[in-house]
Amino acid sequence: MLPIGPLMIEHRLIERMITLLRKDAERMDREQRIDAGFLDRAVEFMLNYADCLHHAKEEQFLFKELDKKDLPEDLRRIMSELIEEHRQARAAMLGIADAKARVLAGQQDFFAQVLSHARTLVIMYPRHVEKEDRHFFLPCMQFLTSEEKDAMLEREYGFDREVLHEIYREKVEREEKK
């Protein structure tokens, strides 16, 4: 398997969450109320799975390795765009969490921000995934040797195991501090 295989599989699960977020944003707009439980779960998924696990593997392994290569300017530009889109997605996720907390605290004027950040993710993320899957991942594989691809795949699998433990260790530590 190529090191982009697990990343593309992860994209499919992220797309499913984005579909759920799109439906919730439509409902939010229609009903003018938030579903705090769903938003908490969506933000947790996007921060932990999409960002801490998925984006981290892309940036720490694939992009870092590709940065050492003599990539054509168009692929280098796309890689920079992808990193910026990761930053924008992270900001939108944190924006949802912050605005939702303010709405729940009685500051109803932040409702529009919850909806705006959700819409940002719903619009941006499918384009981002398509850019990675169709315009970046496959063309970049030609710049890696078979050995580099195999080593990267092994690092990704090891990272998955460590991150999962770190996420839940942090959850327990947060609860212990309460």
CATH number for the domain that contains residue 21: 1.20.120.520
What pLDDT, on a 0 to 100 scale, did the predictor assign at position 94?
A: 96
Q: Is the confidence at residue 51, as pLDDT, over 90?
A: yes
Position 145 scores a pLDDT of 97
Region 3-9: mean pLDDT is 97
Q: Residue 17: its pLDDT value, please?
A: 96
| Confidence tier at 9 by pLDDT (50, 70, 90) | very high
**How much is the pLDDT for 84?**
98
Average pLDDT, the chain: 95
Residue in this structure with the two tokens 């195991």, named with its chain if needed? 161
**Boundaries of domain holding 61:** 4-177
The predicted structure's pLDDT at residue 165: 81
DSSP per-residue codes, 128-166: HHHIIIIIIIHHHHTTS-HHHHHHHHHHHHHHHHHHHHH
pLDDT surpasses 90 at 166: no
Instruction: Tally Cβ neighbours within 10 Å of residue 17.
Output: 17
The encoded tokens of residue 170 equal 């942090």
- Residues 70-83 have pLDDT tens digits of 999 999 999 999 99
Count how many domains the chain has: 1
Q: Helix 4-31 and helix 146-177: axis angle, to 10°? A: 40
Indicate whether 143 pLDDT > 90. Answer: yes
C-beta of residue 131 within 8 angstroms of C-beta of residue 54: no
Which pLDDT belongs to residue 4? 97
Q: pLDDT tens digits, residue range 120-138?
A: 999 999 999 999 999 999 9
Under 8 Å between Cβ of 64 and 155: no
Q: Which of 156, 161, 165 is nearest to 7 (CA)?
A: 156
Closest CA to 159 of 55, 43, 79, 84: 55
Q: Does residue 167 or residue 87 have the better pLDDT?
A: 87
Provide mean pLDDT across the span 58-69: 97
Rounded CA separation 103/110 (Å): 6
